[in-house]
Chain A
Amino acid sequence: MNQLYMLGLSHDDVPVKIRERLGLDADQVNRLLHTLKVKSGVEEVCILSTCNRFECYYSTVEPKAARRQLNQILADISGLSEKKLDGAVRLRRGEWAAAHLFRVSAGCDSMVVGEPQILGQVKDAYGLADRQGTLGPVLRTLFEHSFRSGKRARSETPIGEKPVSVSYVAVEFGRRIFGELHQAKILVIGAGETALETVGCLKREGVRNILVANRTASRAQSLAKKIDGKPLSFAQLPQVLQQVDIVISSTAAKEPVLSRTMLAEAAEGRKGRALFLVDIAVPRDIEASAGELSGIFLYNIDDLKAQAEQNKRERQAAIQAAGQILHGELEAFKRWVAERQVAPTIVRLRQKLLALGEQEMVDFFGTSDNAAEQAKRKEYTRRLVERLLHEPSVALKKLGSERGGLLEVDAVRRLFKLEE
């Protein structure tokens, strides 16, 4: 565990003007992995580079030399002085490095807590390192544990459950009303940025039927072309309101575009079918009292923001629950490392006892030409050694994960002269 390190920087403590200098694409990461493996003396290395973080996980027996080399290489890439870079990056060692990766994979360390992309980015980083051949048993196991912890945190806690962007909150409300949205018919009025973002989110949900209304026909046409919709004029609105399921409005109009009367008539024609109205404009495009009408669900920008903020708070609260899962995974990883440390001692002890046992067999019973008899004696020795070593092996594995336990493991090595 002590050979594991993480050197990196993230949105938490470094401004974007420094982060962007280490925002590497896949090719650059490949080249860097190769350089680090060849020049810096690290045994295993994996690089996670996203727009919010640059983190280099590595395993080495010469940490000082590796860090020096790493600093030099990163300074060359970023164009920053070594001193400045040294002040910006943070070094984590052993279980702190492992715990950090688990937090990152679970989205606990993300700018938007619980965002789903990070786990994919960690997997991509692992894939790149794997293809470059810079992974070894420690990083492989570490990353596999991190994938599991990320997945578990998402499925067992609400950390990534609720949307935190205004556009996705609107989509979530739409889902609560209509369920699957791919068959929904959408009307977009105006061309605000958030409105277009919301349309983008809806399109990702499979929505294909989009109508675009604007005061001027040419703007309606150009916007319709942009979002793959059908243009229509404002005069058609009363008719269209009876057919569509979702209306997204964001015009710059000073007066409401959709009045209560207009929507009351539409509601009557819709025979109770739900109409979901998203009013992102300021001043508002839809008369607020229309939300009281039966079957009309009206949300303005403040409603969506309030829900997004509430969801953010809930995600923050979920970090604690996720922490328990991450702790469990970290303990499992530590056990693996401990067992790995004592494994050579157990193997050597077993080999030594087997050799002794077989020698004693020959000394006591003499050599035999009979192959069956030889096999029988060998099997007897093996079983005796297995039984003898079962409890000591379990105890040694346990010692490996205890504080100061490795000293006792060392005593066993010296006692049985296993170094020789």
Chain B
Amino acid sequence: MVENLLISSLIAGWLTFLLAAYAVFARTGSKIGRGFPAAGLVLVIALLTYYIVARSAELGHFPAFCWRDLLVIFAWSFTVILVVTFFRRGRPVIMAGGLVPPVILLTLAVLATPREVVPESFFFKADLGLHVIVSFLGYAALWLAFLSGGFYFVLERGLKSKKVDHYLRILPPLDDLDRLFYRASGVGFILLTLCIFSGAHFLRRLTGQWWSWDPKVVLTSITWLIYAVILHQRAVIGWRGRRAMLLSLLGVLLIVMTFVGVNVLFPGHGSSLLGR
């Protein structure tokens, strides 16, 4: 059944993405522009939630111990963050951009071979589950911040050049993008902080130490520092546009390195420590 759920959510995810992309490029009314992608997104979340619940029931614990499940949980986190954003003040372009990572992750999840790494005790399972959820939601929020920062940069340049072409009309207003960037960075930062705390707690249970020079721990800490700088500068001197976007890009690249690079270099799962 979980296989079918995964395939269904992949199809629903791609269809929602294509609908949102169509709404961006074709001038459409409210139904195709907002209604259908929103309904598609809710369906994807429902299917992914069902998958996670079904997998938990099947394994008897939170399913964060193999690549496939991790990818699904990651995709689920993106859709949850996106749905909150889209229902508040959604634009098809945010929906389409926000759906890029989850559809890629779901495609990879379908291609990935399930391989479970069983942790040593129940406590580790519970700790790791919380750590995974918090970090993935944080990463998703930071992706959204990067997306809105990038759009802000593009729109700002367009407005400075004094032309509002068709491609600029598909973007939300500058102020909305700025607000989204600030809020998503804030939420992402808080979640990243929780991720570091839960990770440190998990590490202590495993090794008796709060800190390790594990590449993942180091990279996450640098990412945290970068977002701390972004938020500080935004609050104190009102950083917007290019500088904020470039730092945010660096943050996202570090996240990609943390999640993909380190896990590929140190095969295992959620934390490379478990693989050792």
Docked CA distance A175–B159 (Å): 11
A residues 177-215 touching B (CB-CB < 8 Å): 177-179
Given A291-B160, A307-B164: A176 and B173 within 8 A (CB)? yes
Query: What is the 8 Å Cβ interface bit string for chain B, positions 226-243, against chain A (1 contact, 0 not)?
Result: 000000001011111100
Kindly provide the distance from the CB of B197 to the nearest chain A CB, expressed in whole angstroms: 31
Q: Is the CB of A178 within 8 A of B174?
A: yes
Residues of chain A contacted by B178 (CB below 8 angstroms): 274
Query: What is the 8 Å Cβ interface bit string for chain A, positions 65-99, against chain B (1 contact, 0 not)?
Result: 00000000000000000000000000000000000
Q: Is the CB of A177 within 8 A of B173?
A: yes
Q: Is the CB of A173 within 8 A of B159?
A: yes
B residues 1-55 touching A (CB-CB < 8 Å): 27, 29
User: Which segment of A23-31, A40-48, A138-146, A295-303 sits at the interface?
Assistant: A295-303
Docked CA distance A100–B228 (Å): 63
Residue among A177, A307, A310 having the largest count of chain B Cβ atoms under 10 Å:
A177
Chain B residue with minimal CB distance to A276?
A: B159
Docked CA distance A349–B155 (Å): 67
Q: Is the CB of B240 within 8 A of A178?
A: no
Residues of chain A contacted by B162 (CB below 8 angstroms): 299, 303, 306-307
Query: What is the 8 Å Cβ interface bit string for chain A, positions 149-186, against chain B (1 contact, 0 not)?
Result: 00000011010010000000000110111110000000
Chain B residue with minimal CB distance to A294?
A: B241
Q: Is the CB of A307 within 8 A of B168?
A: no
Q: Is the CB of A179 within 8 A of B238?
A: no
Residues of chain A contacted by B160 (CB below 8 angstroms): 291, 297
Q: Is the CB of B176 within 8 A of A272?
A: no
Q: Is the CB of A173 within 8 A of B164?
A: yes
Instruction: Check B163 for interface membership: any CB of A closer than 8 A.
Output: yes
Docked CA distance A291–B178 (Å): 19
Residue among B237, B238, B240, B241 having the largest count of chain A Cβ atoms under 10 Å:
B238
Instruction: Check A270 for interface membership: any CB of B closer than 8 A.
Output: yes
Residues of chain A contacted by B27 (CB below 8 angstroms): 156, 158, 161
Q: Is the CB of A176 within 8 A of B239?
A: no
Q: Is the CB of A274 within 8 A of B175?
A: yes
A residues 306-340 touching B (CB-CB < 8 Å): 306-307, 310
Instruction: Check B199 for interface membership: any CB of A closer than 8 A.
Output: no
Q: Is the CB of B172 within 8 A of A177?
A: no
Residues of chain A contacted by B176 (CB below 8 angstroms): 179
Chain B residue with minimal CB distance to A267?
A: B238
Instruction: Check A273 for interface membership: any CB of B closer than 8 A.
Output: yes
Kindly provide the distance from the CB of B164 to the nearest chain A CB, expressed in whole angstroms: 6
Chain B residue with minimal CB distance to A184?
A: B175
Q: Is the CB of A272 within 8 A of B240?
A: yes
Residues of chain B contacted by A161 (CB below 8 angstroms): 27
Residues of chain B contacted by A294 (CB below 8 angstroms): 240-241
Residue among A173, A179, A295, A307 having the largest count of chain B Cβ atoms under 10 Å:
A179
Chain B residue with minimal CB distance to A163?
A: B164
Chain B residue with minimal CB distance to A296?
A: B160
Given A178-B174, A179-B176, A307-B164: A155 and B29 within 8 A (CB)? yes
Kindly provide the distance from the CB of B136 to the nearest chain A CB, expressed in whole angstroms: 30
Q: Is the CB of A172 within 8 A of B164?
A: yes
Given A177-B174, A178-B175: A272 and B164 within 8 A (CB)? no
Residues of chain B contacted by A271 (CB below 8 angstroms): 236-238
Known contacts A175-B173, A176-B168, then 18 further A-B pairs from the complex at CB < 8 Å, ordered by chain A residue: A173-B159, A176-B159, A176-B169, A176-B173, A177-B175, A178-B174, A178-B175, A271-B237, A272-B238, A272-B240, A273-B238, A274-B175, A274-B178, A295-B238, A297-B159, A297-B160, A307-B163, A310-B163
